[in-house]
């Protein structure tokens, strides 16, 4: 079974709007990471948030982590057509150091 579950499965927005996607997980984590995958390509790391952190920012990206609810959210502000991609959360649990468990991803389409 998958550790991380993203919601929604798909998201369609217009350029300039914000995109929010959520990730829920089941067991205690050391850190949670978000990756982007453009169609047919490998994954690209976006941001890592550790279990003792609550919020991190990187450019137009904002990630929150609520360990009490076992959930995280990724916000992309002022979306661009180039943000069209699939976004995956991946967790590194406390008993599997070095190994990531991925969710099924959120497909984001940003239309001009």
Partner 1 sequence: NAGVTQTPKFQVLKTGQSMTLQCAQDMNHNSMYWYRQDPGMGLRLIYYSASEGTTDKGEVPNGYNVSRLNKREFSLRLESAAPSQTSVYFCAISGGLAGSTDTQYFGPGTRLTVL
Q: Which residues bind partner 1 (CB under 8 A)?
A: 2, 4, 30-31, 33, 35, 40-45, 48, 50, 88, 90, 92, 97-105
Measured at the CA of 102, the angle between CA 58 and CA 13, to 5 degrees, comes to 55
DSSP 26: S
**65: nearest Cα among 74, 75, 56, 54:** 54
Rounded Cα distance between 56 and 44, Å, is 17
Closest to partner 1 by CB, 17 or 53: 53
Q: Tally DSSP H helices, then E strands, for the chain.
A: 0, 11
Closest to partner 1 by CB, 97 or 112: 97
**Closest distance to partner 1 from the beta carbon of 76 (Å):** 19
Closest to partner 1 by CB, 16 or 99: 99
**Closest distance to partner 1 from the beta carbon of 5 (Å):** 9
Rounded Cα distance between 44 and 34, Å, is 9
**Closest distance to partner 1 from the beta carbon of 89 (Å):** 9
**Closest distance to partner 1 from the beta carbon of 43 (Å):** 5
Closest to partner 1 by CB, 33 or 72: 33
């Amino acid at each position: 079974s998958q550790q991380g579950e993203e919601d929604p499965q798909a998201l369609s927005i217009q350029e300039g709007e914000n995109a929010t996607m959520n990730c829920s997980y089941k067991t205690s984590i050391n850190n949670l990471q978000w990756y982007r995958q453009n169609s047919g390509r490998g994954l690209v790391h976006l941001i890592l948030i550790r279990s003792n952190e609550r919020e991190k920012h990187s450019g137009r990206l904002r990630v929150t982590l609520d360990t009490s609810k076992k959930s995280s959210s990724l916000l992309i502000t002022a979306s661009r057509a180039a943000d069209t991609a699939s976004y995956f959360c991946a967790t590194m649990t406390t008993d599997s150091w070095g190994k990531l468990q991925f969710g099924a991803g959120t497909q984001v389409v940003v239309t001009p």
